[in-house]
């Protein structure tokens, strides 16, 4: 399948790092750069012994997209809000917008949210801004939540819908969510701790960008919907670079601009804002959905992510495993790197240079054990990118 081949061909995209649609389209529609000042590019100290943290997370992928709907259950109104695949951070603010009216319709002023990951925390902040009192119940909170293991890139259509479910109506809803999210992200630029920042990135390729890499994967991964074309205006297009304009060994290099979330400081910011506005957090592991009957609140927002599969019996959630690793921070490295066909991507986060590679069997895989060899190999490949 052509799409599948492309998935195998762009490391960032195949790792769930980059919105593949955006990348592919950018390659095809590059504009002539307005200026060509060569930038000094600090080399990455890509050595496996500089790895300081490895983490595994499962993207909560639903072929039909996130579940955002209300359901009477065990004497409560449960507003489901989960299933954001590889886009949970990017879409979080916009995705909370359609969930909010469902919450407000219950006319409860004190609500419960189950889950303290990307979706739970953001939904809580949106509810607080609407004047509600919120108590979060959760098994884990940051940094232990699965969301903490994400890459931290603006990737609003990554493993979010299968292509067959992306009807025009779905695409319109998605665009509204993506634009609303993007707007909020821009309001956080320049804040202390740099929760969000824009960085240049370089996409490397051994073959021209308009040629697809041969498929190498064995997973039965579906064709995902590519929706980013409708929001093309939100970020600059990529530009081709001449060999003297970069230090990389690959014959084909393009520069793009990418929004990066510094998840450590961003999660802390979310938590602080939530608590400052009267939010409460209660440690609770729900073993069965029946247990929500015992909660004080009558409106419960279900933001349990992949946890909804077990807790609410939603077997449509498919775990898509992903592993991230961090190298010791190098503040001078302020660019991202994606090496097409070499299964490695690097993102310049403030808490370390995040390195990602896709495993051979990530789809429908809920194994959260760390595979150190996978990340060490990715670091070695990263080192090879520098001439
Ligand atoms: C490798 C990787 C890279 C990614 N990169 C990006 C990226 O660059 N950009 C992006 O936008 N997205 C990215 N994603 C996707 C993103 O991480 C997810 O979409 C997002 O984390 C989902 O958040 P969540 O809040 O729904 O789930 P979670 O973070 O899993 O939070 C669920 C919460 O519910 C609680 N919970 C669950 N079950 C129970 C229970 N039974 N009782 C009590 N509490 C419970 C948990 O303790 C937790 O607090 C990536 C994902 C992976 C795997």
* CA atoms of 244 and 150, how far apart (whole Å): 34
Whole-number Å distance between alpha carbons of 347 and 354: 5
pLDDT of residue 223: 94
Instruction: Say yes or no to pLDDT of 25 above 50.
Output: no
C-alpha–C-alpha distance, residues 275 and 273, integer Å:
6
246 Cβ contact list (under 8 Å, min separation 6) = 38, 41, 202, 253, 255
Report how far residue 302's alpha carbon sits from residue 299's, in angstroms, rounded to the nearest whole number.
Answer: 10
Residue 214 confidence class, pLDDT cut points 50, 70, 90: confident
- pLDDT category at 217 given cuts 50, 70, 90 is low
Tokens of 26: 């950018």
With bands split at pLDDT 50, 70 and 90, how would you rate the model's confidence at 4? very low
17 pLDDT higher than 80? no
Output the pLDDT for position 251: 95
Please give the number of the atom of ligand 1 that sits closest to the Cα of 121: 25
Atom of ligand 1 nearest to the CA of 88: 19
Report, as an integer, the average pLDDT of 128-147.
98
User: What separation in Å is there between the alpha carbon of 206 and the centre of ligand 1?
Assistant: 34
Residue 144 confidence (pLDDT): 96
Distance 251 CA to ligand 1 centre (A): 37
Structural contact between residues 96 and 350, judged by C-beta atoms closer than 8 angstroms? no
Q: Residue 107's closest CA among 303, 297, 304, 302?
A: 297
pLDDT of residue 37: 60
- Cα distances (angstroms) measured from residue 111 to each of 19, 103, 173, 255, 299: 34, 8, 25, 45, 5
Torsion over CA: 181, 186, 192, 195 (sign)? positive
What does the pLDDT look like over 289-337, one tens digit per residue? Answer: 999 999 999 999 999 999 999 999 999 999 999 999 999 999 999 999 9
pLDDT of residue 159 exceeding 70, the answer is: yes
pLDDT for 212 beyond 70: yes
Across residues 275-284, what is the average pLDDT? 98
pLDDT at 23 over 80: no
Of the candidate ranges 40-44, 96-100, 262-266, 337-341, the one whose mean pLDDT is the lowest = 40-44
3-state secondary structure of 308: helix
Q: Cβ contacts of residue 373 below 8 Å, gap of 6+?
A: none
The Cα 297–Cα 108 span in angstroms is 8
Question: Of 29-33, 215-219, 220-224, which one has max mean pLDDT?
Answer: 220-224
Atom 1, ligand 1: residue with shortest CA distance: 322
In sequence order, what are the residues at sequence separation of 6 or more whose Cβ sits closer than 8 angstroms to the Cβ of residue 190?
A: none
By most ligand atoms within 8 Å of CB, the mutation choice from 89, 199, 274 for ligand 1 is 89
Strand order in the sheet with 67-73: 67-73, 76-82, 299-302, 110-114, 133-138, 280-283
Whole-number Å distance, alpha carbon 22 to ligand 1 midpoint, is 23
Diameter over CA atoms, the chain: 67
The rounded Å distance from CA 55 to ligand 1 centre is: 13
- Give yes or no for residue 216 having a pLDDT over 80: no
Q: Roughly how many angstroms between the first and final C-alpha of the chain, as a whole number? A: 33
Q: Whose CA is nearest to atom 12 of ligand 1?
A: 87
pLDDT of residue 58: 96
Q: Which atom of ligand 1 is nearest to the CA of 287?
A: 41
Which of 37, 15, 17, 18 lies closest to 27 in space, CA to CA? 18
Residue nearest to atom 14 of ligand 1 (CA): 86
- Token pair for 11: 């490391």
> What is the predicted pLDDT for the residue at 372?
97
Shortest-distance atom of ligand 1 to CA 159 = 15
The structure tokens 């929760």 sit at: 195
Provide the strand spans (E) within the chain. 51-61, 67-73, 76-82, 110-114, 133-138, 196-205, 239-240, 252-261, 280-283, 299-302, 318-327, 335-339, 344-349, 352-357
Look at residue 220 in the predicted model and tell me its pLDDT.
77
Q: Which of 294, 293, 297, 319 is nearest to 306 (CA)?
A: 319
Task: Name residues contacting ligand 1 (CB within 6 A).
Answer: 16-17, 57-60, 82, 84-90, 114-120, 138-140, 145-147, 149-153, 155, 284-286, 303-307, 311, 322, 324
Tokens of 115: 């889950």
DSSP 144: S
Mean pLDDT of the chain: 90
Query: What pLDDT sits at residue 36?
Result: 59
């Amino acid at each position: 399948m052509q799409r599948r081949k492309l998935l195998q061909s762009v490391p960032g995209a195949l790792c769930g790092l980059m919105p593949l649609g955006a990348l592919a389209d950018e390659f095809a529609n590059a504009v002539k750069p307005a200026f060509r000042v060569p930038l000094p590019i600090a080399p990455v100290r890509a050595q496996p012994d500089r790895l300081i943290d490895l983490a595994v997370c499962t993207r909560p992928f639903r072929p039909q997209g996130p579940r955002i709907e209300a359901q009477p259950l065990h004497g409560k109104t449960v507003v489901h809000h989960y299933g954001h695949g590889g886009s949970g951070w990017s879409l979080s603010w916009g995705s909370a917008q359609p969930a909010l009216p469902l919450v407000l319709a219950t006319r409860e002023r004190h609500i419960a949210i189950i889950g303290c990951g990307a979706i739970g925390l953001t939904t809580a902040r949106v509810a607080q801004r609407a004047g509600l009192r919120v108590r979060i119940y959760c098994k884990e909170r940051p940094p232990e939540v699965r969301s903490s293991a994400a890459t931290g890139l603006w990737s609003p259509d990554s493993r979010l819908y299968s292509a067959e479910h992306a009807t025009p109506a779905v695409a319109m809803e998605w665009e509204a969510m993506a634009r609303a999210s993007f707007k909020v992200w821009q309001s956080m630029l320049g804040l202390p701790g740099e929760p969000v920042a824009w960085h240049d990135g370089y996409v490397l390729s051994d073959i021209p960008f308009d040629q697809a890499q041969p498929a190498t994967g064995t997973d039965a991964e579906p064709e995902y919907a590519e929706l980013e074309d409708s929001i093309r205006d939100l970020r600059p297009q990529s530009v081709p670079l001449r060999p003297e304009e970069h230090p990389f060994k690959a014959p084909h290099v393009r520069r793009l601009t990418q929004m990066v979330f510094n998840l450590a400081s961003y999660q802390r910011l979310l938590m602080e804002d939530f608590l400052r506005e009267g939010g409460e957090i209660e440690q609770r592991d729900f073993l069965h959905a029946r247990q929500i009957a015992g909660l004080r609140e009558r409106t419960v927002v279900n933001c349990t992510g992949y946890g909804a599969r077990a807790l609410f019996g939603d077997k449509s959630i498919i775990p898509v495993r992903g592993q991230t690793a961090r190298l010791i921070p190098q503040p001078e490295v302020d660019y991202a790197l994606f090496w097409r066909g070499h299964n490695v991507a690097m993102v310049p986060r403030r808490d370390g240079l995040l390195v990602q590679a896709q495993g051979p069997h990530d789809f429908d895989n809920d194994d959260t054990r760390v595979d150190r060899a996978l990340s060490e190999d990715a670091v070695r490949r990263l080192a090879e990118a520098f001439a």
